[in-house]
């Protein structure tokens, strides 16, 4: 039906999205496992060690992010991008 009027029709659904082809999707799946842990446990496991890492240490932000409640994660990520 689209061919009668247009040469190309884009649906916006590519194979990458359907098959988790971008690295950010597999990262989100892996991190989702951590976020299933109760918040208080995540704060102990990730928040306390993050306090002892030197500022600028590569894993510091990841550990801090895991120790945050869901509503705190996006603002935290935006602060990291703006630095």
Looking at residue 75, what is its pLDDT? 86
pTM for the full predicted model = 0.60
User: What b/e string do you get for 18-36 counting C-beta neighbours within 10 Å, with b at 16 or more?
Assistant: eeeeeeeeeeeeeeeeeee
Rounded Cα gap, residues 19 and 38, in angstroms = 29
Q: Which residue has the higher pLDDT, 36 or 2?
A: 36
Q: Which residue has the higher pLDDT, 8 or 68?
A: 68
Instruction: Give the tens place of pLDDT for each residue, 31-68.
Output: 889 999 999 999 999 988 888 888 777 777 888 889 99
Looking at residue 82, what is its pLDDT? 62
């Amino acid at each position: 039906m689209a061919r009668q009027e247009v040469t190309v029709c884009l649906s916006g659904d590519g194979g990458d999205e359907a098959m988790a082809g971008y690295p950010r999707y597999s990262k989100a799946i892996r991190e989702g496992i951590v976020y299933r842990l109760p918040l208080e446990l995540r704060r102990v496991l990730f928040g306390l060690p993050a306090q002892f890492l030197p500022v600028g240490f590569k894993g510091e932000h990841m550990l801090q992010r895991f120790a945050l409640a869901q509503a705190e994660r996006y603002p935290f990520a935006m602060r990291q991008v703006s630095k």
